[in-house]
Amino acid sequence: MLRLENGRLGVIPYLMAGHPDRDRSLGAARSLAALPVAALELGIPFSDPLADGPVIQRAGQAALEAGTNVTACLELAAAVSGQVPVFFMSYVNPILSYGPERFASDAAAAGARGVILPDLPPEEADSVAGSLQARGLATVFLVAPTSAEERIRLICASSAGFVYCVTLTGITGARAELPAGVGEMLDKVKACTTLPVVAGFGISRPEHLAALAGHADAAAVGSAVVNEVAEGRDPARLVGELLTACR
């Protein structure tokens, strides 16, 4: 499901759908879709983003104020899914409000590959994950640095498409350095699954990618990309630099 090159770390940029408005969000998505990224992660804005830091929180609020809803997010996915694998990052509430079966049907029609669900534990995911699976969509759960080995195995067994590993304890946001021991954590997860392993949270610099190489299959870059959009810059420049660092 991810577009990966053998032996090379992939890059998955994150955009908040509808930020700062529909037209500029579409422009940023098309610009990133033209790059050889592993996938494009589209955030569905939500009013109570528990896992997100200030940059993504502000982007989500701006998107909501601009009128972005789930339908608009699906339309954005449909506009670029022919060029790049698209995964939604969504809290479970917008999907429940929209209706899991309806969302799965419409997401599949928009060409999405799956959904990353940061606040939905596998034990409570049957209705949502079942609807997604019925439409051929992956459900991606998150492993935290605090996850015990038994829980890592459960998350790996429950996930499809890839396994998302949070590199730090805390909220999203670019960091100067990644925590010590992140490579060992990723290696532990890779030992539990044959799926690709994606590292996320705090990743924004070429040296971060160098530290992840050999441990993860891809790295998700969120706040740094969203900040480029917020500042009125084309995020493809930053992502292009990160892709070069992976070569």
Active site residues: 41, 52
Alpha-carbon distance of 29 to 162, in angstroms, equals 22
Enter the tokens of residue 82: 């022919």
